Amino acid sequence: MQAGMTPNADATRVALVLDAGGARSAYQVGALEVLLPALAERGMRPRLLVGTSAGALLTGALSATAHLEPEDQVARLKSLLGQTTKANVMRPLWRQVPEVLVRYTSETFGVSYFRLRGLFGSQPLARTLATSIDWEALHRNVENGVIEAAAVTATSVRTGRVIVFTESGSPVPRSAPEYHGRFVAVRLDVPHLMASAAIPVLFPSVHVGEPAEAEGWYVDGATRRRAPLAPALELGADRVVVVGTGGLRPPADPELDRVAVDLGDAGATLLGTVMDDPLRHDLRRLAELNALTGDAELAPVLKRHREARGRSAYQTIPYVAVAPEDGEELARTAMQVFRANHGSLLRTLGDPDLQVMHRLLGSDSPLQGELLSYLLFDPDFFAAASAFGHRDALRWVEQHPDMWRTDRLPDPGN
């Protein structure tokens, strides 16, 4: 802990929930550039940090810098973002092809030792996380009470269980079967973050060895989690700040349904289903629960129902929710950056991976930009996405001077 720093004395337990998004996490960095100072100005700082997939990487970085001023935290986040270029995230596809072919062939002939676990090698990301996050500072911040808990969500490959790897100064909550989730106390390290961010098929599943009770193979935490806000609430959050990367509304143009589809469309739809939809629905559920807890007749009934199950009563949870209103804005931007930076023959010869994927998955697909936006680890895309997040967070703060709301979000566009 730095000189003069004391454990977070604010009695309000603010949770910061950072959802999945791949390369779209740049949007979250831009939003946090506004939200972290705005919270500090109001005497509050996040004490519970919960992340999934790319949000888990940011959670690790924020937990390691929680003892710093918000502006310094943001600077460290931007530094991490600047390091997560393609070369520092995944192995070049041309280097991966021989290994993929060997592993695929071995499985075809029943040689189980050489299993194919993903198309892109993620060893560069592991090295980036090991060197760019101050892990000892993260552990000190938890031990000294600067933050109460740092948690990242991963999905067990074999059983489909949602595991919330949690480093906390207090005992972790017991399992929450209604959320298909289980908290596991850990000393967070690179494998836990890698497991949370391992998008199935694209990136290899990750073996987690510690703690022994949760040893096994894991993939992206967004794969099976049903309620992205649940871990923060189970950890005891009084208020929740959530930053997502998926649109607050799905595309509504019926004409799109008449356009022929291909493999890329299926991939983009699958990613949207597991990464975008749960957060949108969970925000709606939270607002509905807030309305019920504010109902003088229904609140006692809910309280008795929860107590009968051995759980604490629901309470009204004020929240901040920043996510793109136009879910296609990031997709359009990804296509523009791709064409400008990766579309020429010279650029393709220098780095053919994205162009090859673009062609294999259907280059004329209407949803191609959606898929690319998760994988475009490009500084120009980062800059644009970050600007969108900054703009949307600033709009929230301007529309909510005290930061919080409890009711349902209005339908975008109204």
The pLDDT score that the predictor gives to residue 2 is 40
How many Å apart are CA 120 and CA 233, to the nearest integer?
A: 35
pLDDT of 21 over the 80 cut:
yes
Give the pLDDT of residue 343.
Answer: 66
Whether 306 shows a pLDDT value over 90: the answer reads no
Q: What percent of the chain has pLDDT over 90?
A: 47
Average pLDDT over residues 211-221: 92
For the stretch 30-79, pLDDT in tens is 999 999 999 999 999 999 999 999 999 999 999 999 999 999 999 999 99
Is the pLDDT reported for residue 222 higher than 50? yes
Q: Tell me, what's the pLDDT at 260?
A: 61
Compare 287 and 202 and report the one with higher pLDDT.
Answer: 287
Domain ranges across the chain:
14-248+271-307+315-327+380-399
Residue 336, token pair as written in the block: 């523009």
Domain boundaries 14-248+271-307+315-327+380-399, CATH class? alpha beta
DSSP string, 16-58: EEE---GGGHHHHHHHHHHHHHHHHHTT--EEEEEEETHHHHH
User: Could you give the residue numbers annotated as active site?
Assistant: 53, 220
Asked whether the beta carbons of 100 and 107 are under 8 A apart, the reply is no
Q: Is the pLDDT of residue 7 over 50?
A: no
Taking alpha carbons only, the member of 49, 59, 36 closest to residue 403 is 36
Q: Looking at residue 319, what is its pLDDT?
A: 97
Report pLDDT for 359.
56
Which residue from 18, 20, 1, 22 is spatially nearest to 61, judged by alpha carbons?
Answer: 18
Could you report the per-residue pLDDT of 125-160, keeping only the tens digit for each? 999 999 999 999 999 999 999 999 999 999 998 888
235: pLDDT strictly greater than 60:
yes
